[in-house]
């Protein structure tokens, strides 16, 4: 589940992030990098 260096606490914290952005974030470490890379 955590292969990009994301820790469980970070995943839980992003829970609030999901409500603001409305996206699937740390579901898959790869998806996070892809989305954040495009978002930023």
Task: Name the phi and psi angles at 18, rounded to 5.
Answer: -60, -40
Q: How many domains does the chain have?
A: 1
Backbone dihedral region for residue 21 (phi beyond 0: left; psi -120 to 50: alpha; all else: beta): alpha
Domain membership flag for residue 20: yes
Domain membership flag for residue 2: no
Identify the domain containing residue 28 by its residue range: 8-39
pLDDT reported for residue 36: 52
pLDDT digits (tens, 9 = 90+) for 1-40: 555 555 555 554 555 555 555 555 555 555 555 555 555 4
Domain membership flag for residue 19: yes
Domain membership flag for residue 1: no
User: Which pair of structure tokens corresponds to residue 23?
Assistant: 């996206």
Whether residue 10 contacts residue 4, with contact meaning beta carbons closer than 8 Å, is answered with no
Domain membership flag for residue 3: no
């Amino acid at each position: 589940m955590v292969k990009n260096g994301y820790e469980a606490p970070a995943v839980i914290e992003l829970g609030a992030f999901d409500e603001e952005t409305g996206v699937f974030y740390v579901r898959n470490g790869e998806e996070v990098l892809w989305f954040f890379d495009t978002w930023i």
